[in-house]
A = this chain, B = another copy of it.
Amino acid sequence: MKLFANGILPVYNQSKVMKNVVQTREIREAILDATDVFLGRYGYKKMTIDSLASEVGIGKGSIYLHFTSKEEIALSHIDRIIERMCAELKTIARSRETPAERLSKMLLKRVLFRFDSVQHYTQNLNDLLAVLRPKLLARRQVYFEKEANIFASVIEEGQKAEVFDVENSMEIAETFLLATNSLLPFSLMTHELGERKDIEAKTLRLANLLLNGLLQRDR
């Protein structure tokens, strides 16, 4: 593509392009917001492209400018939950607390953020997960890798500060995720999840034990 003489778009066109980009992103977000409402209220099977379009106030055809199918909408909705959670994990990872404190808060966040994101689904999460399970499985590995990288960065800090006795920070990060995976709504169905305060207590107990396991010992 040939660029304009100065390598960027003229000011008028540039702002118009930006406006379109922002609008496109806003509509996409609005569709996913509506998805969240519909999935929680009616479940995956009863959610239709028509109902989403009318909730957002756009035509059905406009939905297809952003997504190819209902399945892609639901998966993008879950992608967004993970992206938002990873953003919060990164904020904690960059904070000024000790590596152990940050890791503990990050473990709690990874469990409770997901819990809170699907809590209003009550019965309907089961049918959502059942229908999307094969596709979600494929994405799951990517999700975990993103999370593991954030955890590994903090573990490395503790390693460099000689607070943690760790050889392979990525392996430890993956072990942390593995240990808390059974508390996520992916393996547990909603009715198996239990009370938020119990999930929180279990996660904290697990985090304490895991972090204690990392600490340097006097030999």
Contacts and interface: CB of A to CB of B under 8 A. Distances in A.
A175 interface: yes
B202 A175 contact: yes
A206 interface: yes
Interface string A149-185: 0000000000000000000000110110011111100
Contact of A175 (B137, B171, B206): B206
Interface stretch (A5-13, A114-122, A209-217): A209-217
A166 to B, nearest CB: 10
A205 to B, nearest CB: 5
The range of chain A's interface size is: 20 to 34
As for how many copies of this chain the complex holds, the number is 2
Chain A facing B: main interface SS = helix
A188 B137 CA distance: 10
Contacts of A179: 178-180, 182, 206, 209-210
Nearest to A192: B137
A202 B173 CA distance: 12
B187 A183 contact: no
A50 to B, nearest CB: 31
Interface string A188-217: 100010000000001001101111111101
Contacts of A215: 217
Contact of A205 (B175, B188, B202): B175
8 contacts: A174-B202, A178-B179, A187-B187, A209-B213, A210-B213, A211-B213, A217-B217, A218-B218
